[in-house]
Structure 1
C-alpha cells in the first residue's frame, strides 16, 4: 500500500530512546527509514554497555536521516525524551514523535498517527480504543494496562484511553506550550504526564488504534519498581487535582498539579 507523503507537516523526527537494544536497533531503524523515508530519527542512547551506541553511530554514518545522542547515564525514559525533544526543537523540527526501539511500535503504522495530526496537536497510537490490540501479551498484563489507564481516567479526569502509550507524535507548538522545563517525571509515567499537560493546556489530543507487538528479543525495561513509581505519582496528581477542584469551587487559585507532584 502506498501512503501519502507528509511534506505539509514540515520536518518530522522520531525520538527512539535506547538502553541495551543492540539486538533490535538496526532492524527497527531500517524498517522505519524504508517505510517512511521522509521521517528522520534521533537515537538517544543512555550509555548502553552492549554497544547500542556504537551501532547507532555506524547506522548514522550510513544514513544522513539518522542522528545519535549519547547520554552518560541511564536516567529514565522521560529524561531521555526530554533531552531528545530539546535537541529536536533546537534543530527546527515541526513534528516530533516517540517510539520504542524493540519493535513493539510498528513503523508500518506510523502513517496512521501522522494522518491524524490534521487538526490535532498530539496523536497517540492507542491499544485500548476500538480497533487497537496487543500481540503476545498474557491476560494479566493486559488487565494491568487496561486497569491502570482506567485509574488514570478516573483519578485525573482525562478522556484519553491509553495515556501510558509511548507511540505518539506532537506538533512542535504543543511541546512549546506545555513548559517542558517543569517536567520532573522520568519513568513511564512521563507519558501520562505529557498527555495530561496537553489536555489541560486546551490542546487537541487524538487517539488512533494500533497493534502493539510484544518484543521478541532483549529484556523489557518495565519492572515492579517502575510500575509502583507510576502509580504513586498518578495518585498524587489525582489527589492534587481533587484539591484544586475544591479550590476553584471556593474561588481560590489552583496549584499547578502536575508540576508540584513531580
Structure 2
C-alpha cells in the first residue's frame, strides 16, 4: 500500500532529523513529505539533507513564508494525490505523535475512510500536560462536538490517516480554516460526506524541544470557525443557477452553473489569481471571501469589478504580459477566457512564470466537440458567425490540444473533466437566440441588460433547474487542472 506521511514544519530543526528516519522505519515502503514554511532556524536545509540521504523516500516542499497549517496540508494533499499515494498520514513534527503508531493507523484504514489517533478514546492518554491544559482541551472537544455534532472523542487530533478517495472528496471544496482549525474541518467534511471514520487510542507526548505553536489566535479561530462550518454549506446546483440568472442570460446561466459545479470539486490555495476576471460575474457567485488578484484587459470590466469589493487587487493587463512577480501565486484560474486569446501559448508561459512551485492552474474552455452537437446547420453557421467574428472566439480545438498547450510550457496534467452534457448543449443552442440582445448590449455598453432580475430568476429557476446536473458530461466544455512541478 503506497503510503505518504505529511509533516508540516516551522522551526523544527531539533526534531526533524530524528523523526523522519523513525517514520521510514515504522512500516515498509513508507514515504515522507516535509512541507516547510521557510523556517528561520534552517529546518528546510536539514529537510533537504534528509531527502539527499534518503532518495526516493523523503521529499520536501518549500514554501516562501509561514502560511498556515491549512495551506500546508492542502498543498501536501495535492502533491500526494498527484503522485498516486493510496494512504496519506498527517502528524506533528515535534514527536508528540509516535511513528510506531503509524502501522496501526494503516491497518484500520483498510476498514475506514479516515482513521484518527485519539488521545481520549477509553481514557486520557497525554503525557506531561498540566491539569489546566487538560481541562481546556477537554472543554474544547465538548464544545466542538456540541457545535458541529462531530462524533469523535478527539476532534482536534492531528494524527490522521486518509484514503486517497476520501481526500479527493473532501478537499474538493475550499477549506475555510487557516490554522489548526483545519484539523477540525477535515474531520467535519469527512463526516458530512458520509465517509466512515474510526478512532484508535494513542499516547500523546508533549514536545521536549522547540517552541510550541499554539497561540491565543489559534484558539480563537477554532472557537468561532466551528459555527462557520455548521452554518456554511456548499451551494446546491439550483442555488448557483438562481444566482447566475440574476446577472446573466438564461443560456449563459446554464453554462456558468455547470462550470461552477465542476469548479467546486477543486481545492484552491491562496494567493489566488482570477485571470480574465471580467466584472466578476463568475467569482461573485462562487466565492465568499476575497480573491487576491483579478486581471482583465477590459477597462470597463475592471471598473465594474472594483465595485464588488471582491478583489484585493485589480490589474488592467494583457494575460500574455502580466505585471506580477515570479512565483507569487499559488492558484490561478480562468473561466471561459483562454478561447478568446490569440497566441495562447504565451498565456500558459506567463502562468508558469507567476505560479509558485506546485502551484496550480485551473481553466475551463469549450472544445471542438461542441460543434458536433450543433444539430441544425443554422445554429452551426450562426454560432460561428456570432462567436468567432463578433465575440472574438478563436477556432475551437480539441481537448488534447488544450492539454498539450499547457504541457508545452512545463505544466503537468492533474485532471481533465467535461462540464456540460449533450442535452444541455442542445438546450443552450435553442436558448441562444433569446440571449443575443443581452450579449449585444454587453458588447456595446459593457453591461448586460437583465430586467427584473429577482422575479426573472424565480421563474426561470423553476422552469429549467431540472436540467442542471453533473451526469453524462461531455467534452464540449472542459475543466483542466495542471500543476507546475518543482
SS in 2 for 1:124: strand
**TM-score by structure 2 length?**
0.47
Q: Partner of 1:73 in structure 2?
A: 65
- Does residue 159 (structure 1) correspond to residue 156 (structure 2)? The answer is no
Cα deviation, residue 201, structure 1: 0.5
Pair 1:185–1:220, CA change in 2 (3 A): same
Cα deviation, residue 20, structure 1: 0.4
- Does residue 169 (structure 1) correspond to residue 169 (structure 2)? The answer is no
Within 5 Å, give how 1:1-262 maps onto structure 2.
10-64=1-55, 65-130=57-122, 133-238=125-230, 240=231
Cα deviation, residue 112, structure 1: 1.5
Larger Rg: 2
Cα deviation, residue 236, structure 1: 3.3
**TM-score by structure 1 length?**
0.86
Contact 2:185/2:229 (<8 A) preserved: no
SS in 1 for 2:80: helix
- Render the CA deviation track for 1:137-180: whole Å, top value 9, x for unaligned: 11111111111111111111121111110000100000011234
SS in 1 for 2:14: coil
SS in 1 for 2:32: strand
Q: How many residues align?
A: 239
Moved more, 109-118 or 206-215: 109-118
- Render the CA deviation track for 1:212-244: whole Å, top value 9, x for unaligned: 000000001011111011101113334x27xx8
Q: Which has the higher contact order (CA 8 A, sep 6+)?
A: 1
SS in 2 for 1:123: strand
SS in 1 for 2:133: helix
Paired with 1:228 and 1:260, the residues of 2 have a C-alpha distance of: 24
Cα deviation, residue 260, structure 1: 8.9
Task: Provide the alpha-carbon RMSD of the alignment.
Answer: 2.1
Moved more, 60-69 or 178-187: 178-187
Contact 1:131/1:210 (<8 A) preserved: no
Paired with 1:103 and 1:80, the residues of 2 have a C-alpha distance of: 19
Moved more, 125-134 or 93-102: 125-134
For structure 2, the residue ranges without an aligned partner over 5 or more in a row are 234-238, 240-263, 265-285, 290-486
Paired with 1:218 and 1:261, the residues of 2 have a C-alpha distance of: 37
